[in-house]
Structures are given as C-alpha cells and as structure tokens.
Structure 1
C-alpha cells in the first residue's frame, strides 16, 4: 500500500524537486502544491498520510494551515521540511510515520 504524502511549499522550483523525490519511491505517492487552498482541497478529496510543510510558510500561515488540516482530518501528521538531501527527507518521513 502506498503512503500518500502532501508537500506544501511556496517555492515552485523546490516543489518540483520535492515532487520528483517523493514520487521516486514506489511506496510513496507525493502530491506537491504551492497554495494552502490547493492543500485544503486535496485533503478534502483524498486520503493523506502525512503533510510536509516546506519553505516560505510563515508562522501565522502555518498555524492556520495546521488548524484547517487537523479540522478536516483529526490526527493528521504534519511535519516541517525545510531542505536537505533525499536521505534526510527519507529519515524525516519514516520517523513521522512510525
């Protein structure tokens, strides 16, 4: 069974890279967006196992986004990811899921 990971970041180029990294593993399905509105719609329509918050999301937006996403899916795991290599990304995801 695939783990569905939603990445939310503000930088389009980084979002493209994250999409490639997340979807490179057959056990993961990565969905990558740049706006809170897109993220909320995806959470309404699809099962999401984990949310990664990327760069460019300020503290106020992060707080509001966490509240909205947890309101839609109580207990949804949401972690911050601000960069690093694919090994770090893998470690962060596996730690959050276990």
Structure 2
C-alpha cells in the first residue's frame, strides 16, 4: 500500500513531534517534519508530497513564502493550516484536504 506523504512544518519541536506522531498513527499516511523554511523547501524538492500541513507559530511572511514556493513547484499541492485542537480535528483536516 502506498502511503500518502505529508510534509509537516512547525516552529516548536515538541509540538511538531506530536503532530508527526498523530499523523503517522494512520497507516495510510507518512509525515515528514521540518522546523525551518529552508529545511521545508529542501525536503519538498527531494520527495513527492500530497499535502503540506502548516502548524502554528509560522509567521505570515514565512507562510506566504512557503505557499508560493510549494505551489510554484506543484500547482496541485494541498496546503492545510493546522493550529491545534487534537487528533480528531487533525485527522478531519487531512481527510477533507485529500478528498
């Protein structure tokens, strides 16, 4: 079974680790986490992702830069903003974006 690859970007290492763990609890998904914009852009260029999940703490200029970068390389990429709210909300956001 091919897993859906999800790039998760967050500024807080502990929260990022939790989000990655929650995403990876679904056997159909595989999350890769990044802290910095540069790391996220480099990782995006090395792997094929179906979705980018933007966590809290990313300032608007970085968010704008990242979204522009990702969509310039893959116009069909799904970008979801996740600000917390537990694993149920996270799963629902991912399912909705992947439909």
Q: State TM-score, norm by structure 1.
A: 0.95
Q: 1:80: which partner in 2?
A: 81
Matched residue count: 98
Where does the alignment leave 5 or more consecutive residues of structure 1 unmatched? none
- The CA RMSD over aligned residues, in Å, is 0.8
Aligned ranges 1:7-86 → 2 under 5 Å: 7-86=8-87
- Distance in 2 between the 1:19 and 1:4 partners? 11
Where does the alignment leave 5 or more consecutive residues of structure 2 unmatched? none
- Distance in 2 between the 1:51 and 1:38 partners? 13
Q: 1:67 Cα shift? A: 0.4
- Distance in 2 between the 1:44 and 1:72 partners? 8
- Distance in 1 between the 2:62 and 2:44 partners? 17
- Distance in 2 between the 1:25 and 1:5 partners? 12
Residue by residue, what CA displacement relative to the aligned partner does 1:28-81 show, whole Å, maximum 9, x if unpaired?
001111111111111111110000100111111111110011112122110100
Q: State TM-score, norm by structure 2.
A: 0.94
